[in-house]
Amino acid sequence: MKGYKSEQIRNVIMLGHGGSGKTTIVEAALAASGAISRMGKVEDGNTVSDYEKTEIEKGYSISTTVEPVEWNKNKINFLDTPGFFDFAGEVAGTIRAAEAAVIVVDASAGVQVGTEKAWETCRENGTPRIFLINKTDKENVNVPEVIAQLKAKFGSSVATPDDKEGLSEAIAETSEELMDIYFDKGEFSDEEFAKGLAAGIAAGDIAIVLSASAVKQEGIKEFLDAVLKYVPAPTVDPAAKTSAFVFKTVVSKTAGKLSYLKVMGGKVTPGMELFNASAEKPEKLSAIFFVRGKTQAEAPEVAAGDIFAAAKLADTHTGDTLRDKASDAKYPPISYPQPTLFLAIEPKAKGDEEKIGAGLSKLRDEDPSFSVEMNTETSQRLLGGQGEIQIGILQAKLKELNNVDVDLLDPKVPYRETIKGTSDVQGKHKKQTGGAGQYGDVHIKFSPTTEDFEFGEELFGGSVPKNYVPAVEKGLRECLQKGPLSGSRVTGIKAILYDGSYHDVDSSEMAFKIAASLAFKKGIEEARPILLEPVMHVEILVPDNFLGDVMGDMSKRRGKILGQEQQSGGRLKLIAEAPQAEMFKYAIALRSMTQARGSFTMQFERYEEVPANISQKIIADYKAAQEQD
């Protein structure tokens, strides 16, 4: 594949609801351009885009692929993204490399949730968009009706190329100057129309609607012509030094690590050394390629605005900026959606913990949208993602790339224990074994505190020698890790050592540590111990018509609605609090309740007392488990 000048390049991200036919559109475009002799099918697992083993097995896209189509002496880089909402992270990175989006709409389904989400993504990123109504060959399809749906949902900015009146009205709405011309003259001159249309599309104020049947290759050539006509070429500063942005990383068992970059300024050639402004390290681009699916072709030179791949960049990750040392360019990092579904991940085979860690680290290179954290209180490794599909794919890839089988489990709640009352107890450890014995005796008062743990001593008369006091404190602190009610961490405890006794020969630091632990257990049990649970701050975005269902569901989760705020687009933001125990799989429930139109963020707020009926069950379950062990 030859190199192209900046003005000959178009970078287009393919968006739309899952199953709308994005991959098939790209396949048809490749066939129309002569890049492939025969179209593959998604269901047969032989398309250019979906080449990964997991994609072929599942029958849908899970990763962005770059598909250059050479058309009329220009190059269109189609960036084919997954349609499932679990892979929103793929879209977040890829849209940074695109000058425009094609939102694919299934003619038989009309406007779907994925259509709305694609539009919103473009609006948030300031990305121009074109609608392509696909599958027009299906029975009982009514294209004018779908166009009417698009207009009703997204406004008068939506128009077909042959709707001169509709486009003129849309152009007029883009500026006061054009509005005045339209009202004064009743129409635009050809020059005013062409300039106004181009400016309106580039600003995202006008969305052209096209139609095609990818499987029958009808309307595809017209679609490619329209992309060249309506999509703006990359904006390039001819005087800029070389810089590039990493928008995607692919890790495979055979090819290793491959970084996908867009040249933002200057040009890139093989063997060039660039400075990684993010890692603050140099990187040599030993081998650079133009890619089409899994096919790689050596790139002699890559112009500003074009997309290429580089192999084995050791210190470079998605979101990094590579630049000439003389350049000061540094592009903003990619903003990924926060994980909303968390599952515990454990190896099926003992001893595979390190393999899990290494495997997830590799996969984080490829998909930075998921999170991994170790909860020290529950001793679980938690995997966070956008939904069950994404996490299931990560599970499959761990097996494929690292040969490690894992189980996905519900996370444990990091409960804590504290006291509401006071106690005054003795802890005495006395043991005679024939030789030197063990003796330690302490009297400790326990009471609540707002601190995590407070220790003090009010000893008098040498009842406990000062050199044993640190051992008493250490013994108490070690007991904080496992409370008597549920084995959870203990917090909010104040302990005052005020009396005790010792033996000149048999007393030791260990004996006083044991005495302190005996006092701790007794003291906590006598001071009205309670369980605490983490409470989360939750912000939920929902369309107005789903408000009742969402509020009712939050109530069932022991949640409280604190307030609501009106948002744009007929949506509401609900501000709520709910126990973490009720929220681990909220992402699945919210998606079901709102037809995937709702979203939420969640963060830890504080600990609160667990209701008595729930607390009793937790304590009973813990004791039953202890007896079995």
CATH number of the domain enclosing 119: 3.40.50.300
102-143 pLDDT per residue, tens = 999 999 999 999 999 999 999 999 999 999 999 999 999 999
| Residue 179 maps to a domain | no
Q: Is residue 78 located within the same domain as residue 111?
A: yes
Domain assignment of residue 266, yes or no: yes
Mean pLDDT for the stretch of residues 533-561: 95
pLDDT exceeds 80 at position 13 = yes
Query: Which residue, 527, 545, 575, sits at the end of a domain?
Result: 527
* Full-model pTM: 0.87
- Shared domain for 151 and 215, answered yes or no, is yes
Q: Backbone phi, then psi, for 114, in 5-degree steps? A: -65, -30
pLDDT per position as a tens digit, 489-499: 999 999 999 99
pLDDT at site 2: 80
pLDDT of residue 57: 78
Of 509, 527, 545, the domain-final residue: 527
Instruction: Tell me what pLDDT residue 448 has.
Output: 97
Same domain, 57 and 135: yes
pLDDT tens per residue across span 336-372: 999 999 999 999 988 888 889 888 988 998 899 999 9
Q: Give me the mean pLDDT over the 419-433 stretch.
A: 93
In a domain, 197, yes or no: no
- Domain range for 295 is 243-323
Total domains, the chain: 5
Give the CATH number for residue 356: 3.30.70.870
In this prediction, residue 434 carries a pLDDT of 67
Among 527, 550, 568, which residue terminates a domain? Answer: 527
Give the Cα separation of 170 and 201 in Å (integer): 10
Bridge partner residues of 406 (DSSP): 347
Share of the chain above pLDDT 70, in %: 100
Residues 6 or more apart whose Cβ sits within 8 Å of residue 258: 249, 250, 251, 252, 291, 309, 310, 311
Same domain for 309 and 272: yes
Q: Is residue 395 located within the same domain as residue 436?
A: no
Mean pLDDT of 604-629: 92
Does one domain contain both 16 and 139? yes
Residues near 169 by beta carbon (within 8 Å), at least 6 away in sequence: 156, 182
**Tell me, what's the pLDDT at 55?**
78
Measured in whole angstroms, how far is the alpha carbon of residue 264 from the centre of its chain? 25
Question: Could you tell me if residue 236 is inside a domain?
Answer: no
37-41, 215-219, 476-480: least confidently modelled range: 37-41
Same domain, 291 and 431: no
Q: Are residues 347 and 222 in the same domain?
A: no
Q: Within this chain, do residues 434 and 345 fall inside the same structural domain, yes or no? A: no
3-state helix vs strand vs coil in the chain, percent to 5: 35, 30, 35
Is residue 378 in a domain?
yes
Whether 521 and 600 share a structural domain:
no
Q: Spell 406-430 as b/e; 16+ CB within 10 A means b.
A: beeeebbbbbbbbbeeebbbbbbbe
Angle (CA) 107 111 117, round 5°: 130
Rounded Cα–Cα distance for residues 357 and 264 (Å): 34
User: Where residue 510 sits, what CATH number does that domain have?
Assistant: 3.30.230.10
**Amino acid 289: pLDDT:** 93
* Inside any domain, residue 162: no
Q: What is the pLDDT of residues 269-288, one digit of tens each?
A: 999 999 999 999 999 999 89
- On the question of pLDDT at 569 being above 80, the answer is no
Task: Go through 61-80 and write b for each residue having 16 or more CB atoms within 10 A of its CB, e for each that does not.
Answer: bbbbbbbbbbbeebbbbbbb
Q: pLDDT for 462-490, tens place per residue?
A: 899 999 999 999 999 999 999 999 999 99
Residue-level pLDDT at 171: 93
Question: Is there a domain that residue 193 lies in?
Answer: no
Question: What is the distance between the alpha carbons of residues 268 and 284, in angstroms, rounded to a whole number?
Answer: 11
pLDDT tier, 79 (very low <50, low <70, confident <90, very high otherwise)? very high
